Amino acid sequence: MYVGMQIVHVELAEMMQHLQEAWTEISSMAVNKQLASSPVTISEKMAVFLLSVLRLLTFSSLLRFLTSSNISFKTVFIILSLKSKEEGKAYSVYDEDIGYCQGQSFLAAVLLLHMPEEQAFCVFVKIMYDYGLRDLYRNNFEDLHCKFFQLEKLMQEQLPDLYSHFSDLNLEAHMYASQWFLTLFTAKFPLCMVFHIIDLLLCEPVLLTLDTYYLLLMEEGVPCKTPAAKLTPPVKKSQDMHDERSKLVNEYACRVLELLGMGHRLFVPRLLATSKEDLLQADFEGALKFFRVQLPKRYRAEENARRLMEQACNIKSNAINKKSVEAKQISPTTEAELKASEMQQCTLPICLSFLEQRSALFLLFFLASS
């Protein structure tokens, strides 16, 4: 595109200037009611322009720019989700079973901020299939409802006061958490937090190579009220082991999200825990309003988002350490398992350091090319 081509050659500072101008133009359009009859075409044109600018910026410079120039993260979302409608359409052709779902565009937008369209598409497909997001949309959202059930059970165990407060209010998980799960938290939360979350999610493939049985143990163990019997190795014979393994691999795909911090097991309870005091005070409407307004607002401060993610990561590592101890005590460990457990312990710090350095971007490209 003409504008986009031109932009490639200008300096970063000039790009910022363009972006600023574009933003001013858009906001004045919104105010000017005379133009209201054709807002979409104008925004779409501007979106293409803005997107071409945004793509050239590095992540941190984008963040710096956004924080320094009063552009709300929300605006960037709006612009990007306009553009990414195309992405959603492309996916619906690719995956006829699921088709186009509103909500996919939020995740697509996050990916488009980092990489060109083809790569974004590949990563998107990968997240849908290999990370279990696709399963949430299938069979009339059965998996999603299962997650709500699990979330409520987990709250009952970990946040009993909040659980009973919500029960008194008749406030059920599907009223506030559908959006969280279906969009991987990308719809309401500010970008700085969304990126952290997606980073966390994308760091997990490092662990994908590990023994699935071992991971299943971990899953069974959280939140560690599982009877010891369940923790013993399921099958010993090699052939059976093979079948069991392939079954586990399938099951595993669905569990990735919940295993390692992304899903409700660790992340959502943490999210709720940090807001517990506010939520305990709130009535039905207040609580829902809190989820809609205050909660996303709180994490607009990057510091808050970072702290939350740290907490989520810490729980994760504790849970895993505990699991490895349990595994050693209960089952007579084979050499392979021991090796897996060692690998486990050494990969996690790697994951976390990835997070700290925000170099999950590297992983994104790695994924896209594989």
Partner 1 sequence: VVLIGESGVGKTNLLSRFTRNEFNHDSRTTIGVEFSTRTIVVGDATVKAQIWDTAGLERYRAITSAYYRGAVGALLVYDIAKYLTYENAERWLRELQQDHADANIVIMLVGNKSDLRHLRAVPTDEARSFAEKNGLSFLETSALDSTNVETAFHSILTEIYRLVSQRQIAGQPESEFGPSTTIEPVRVLPTQQEGRQAPCCQNI
Residues that bind partner 1 in the complex, under the rule CB under 8 A: 30, 36-37, 39, 43, 77-78, 81-82, 99, 101-103, 105, 137, 140-141, 144, 170, 172, 174-175, 178-179, 182-183, 187, 285, 288, 292
Q: How far is the CB of 288 from partner 1 (least distance, A)?
A: 5
Smallest gap from residue 188 Cβ to partner 1 (A): 9
Minimum distance between the CB of residue 146 and partner 1, rounded to whole angstroms? 13
Q: How far is the C-alpha of 135 from the C-alpha of 129, rounded, in Å?
A: 8
Q: For residues 177 and 174, give the distance between their C-alpha atoms in angstroms, rounded to a whole number.
A: 5
Gap between the Cα atoms of 242 and 171, Å rounded: 44
Nearer to partner 1, 178 or 333 (CB): 178
User: What whole-number distance in Å separates Cα of residue 249 and Cα of residue 243?
Assistant: 10
Least distance to partner 1, CB of residue 309, Å: 23
Q: Which is nearer to partner 1, 30 or 301 (CB)?
A: 30
Query: In this structure, what are the phi and psi dihedrals at residue 84, rounded to the nearest 5 degrees?
Result: -80, 0
Cis peptide before 223 (omega within 30 of 0): yes
| Comparison of 78 and 361: residue with beta carbon closer to partner 1 | 78
Q: State the nearest-atom distance from the C-beta of 105 to partner 1, in Å.
A: 7
Comparing CB distances to partner 1, the nearer of 14 and 285 is 285
Q: Which is nearer to partner 1, 54 or 82 (CB)?
A: 82
Is 155:166 a contact under the CB 8 Å cutoff? yes
Nearer to partner 1, 103 or 132 (CB): 103
Let me know: does 58 contact 87? Beta carbons within 8 Å: no
Nearest to 336 by CA among 207, 208, 212, 204: 212
- Closest distance of CB 111 from partner 1, Å: 17
> What is the Cα–Cα distance from 129 to 141, expressed in whole angstroms?
15
Question: How far apart are the C-alpha atoms of 232 and 51, rounded to whole Å?
Answer: 52
